[in-house]
Amino acid sequence: MKIILATSNKGKVKEIKELWSEYEVVPYSELIEEFEIVEDAHTFKDNALLKARAVYKALGDKEAIVIADDSGISVDILKGEPGIYSARYAGAGASDKDNLYKLIKSVKDMGVISTPAHYTAAIAIIYKEKEYSVHGWMYGDVINETRGEKGFGYDPMFIPSGYNKTVAELDANIKSKLSHRSKALSLAKVIIESVQL
């Protein structure tokens, strides 16, 4: 089964390909020219749906199975920031590193070493013009420094509950068991398998 990913984020593509190795997972940019999608909705779910819709429409194939992931990190002490603005926390066009160091600075400015946070992933699925969405979460703490090189985005500063290492220090197979994305993808898989029947 072919699944088309409505994302330009290489970290997401790598993880989704690994988590869904039983499917043929193809980023949409391998099928049509990549285009900008303005993420101006107010929730993870609505942003995921608008990305999936834009790619589904551009492909023009009703039988295509398109999925989009909208995700981010929310820090309690920062009133849930950066949340849906995680990709542009340090401004439009910011790199993963810019966003990471901005969040480290925000945590430091609160005068804490470690503080509760969680990741959210909303996955939208469009197939035969019908829309579905699911969510997954990973809870833990963010710290005021980076540790480790694995993963992407905010992983070097996030310690999952029950662990004493950041996601960037843990083996990728641990992230794949715990992550917001893997939980949402498990639910998405149930939907994809049932609508395919």
CB of 197 to ligand ITT, least distance (A): 28
Q: d(Cα 185, Cα 190) in Å, to the nearest integer? A: 9
Q: Which is nearer to ligand ITT, 140 or 153 (CB)?
A: 153
Looking at 70, 96, 141, 155, which residue is catalytic?
Answer: 70
CB of 125 to ligand ITT, least distance (A): 14
Q: Which is nearer to ligand ITT, 15 or 189 (CB)?
A: 15
DSSP symbols for the chain: -EEEE----HHHHHHHHHHTTTSEEEEGGGTS---------SSHHHHHHHHHHHHHHHHT-TT--EEEEEEEEEEGGGTT-BGGGGGGTTSTT--HHHHHHHHHHHHHHTT-SEEEEEEEEEEEEEETTEEEEEEEEEEEEEESS---SSSSTTGGGEEETT-SS-TTTS-HHHHHHH-HHHHHHHHHHHHHHHHT-
CB of 156 to ligand ITT, least distance (A): 9
Q: Which is nearer to ligand ITT, 160 or 189 (CB)?
A: 160
Q: d(Cα 175, Cα 159) in Å, to the nearest integer? A: 11
70 noted as active-site residue: yes
Token pair recorded at residue 130:
């019908």
The residues binding ligand ITT (CB under 6 A) are 7-9, 12, 39, 51, 69-72, 86-87, 96, 99, 119, 151-155, 179, 181
Residue nearest to ligand ITT (CB): 153
CB of 29 to ligand ITT, least distance (A): 10
User: Hey, which residues are catalytic here?
Assistant: 70
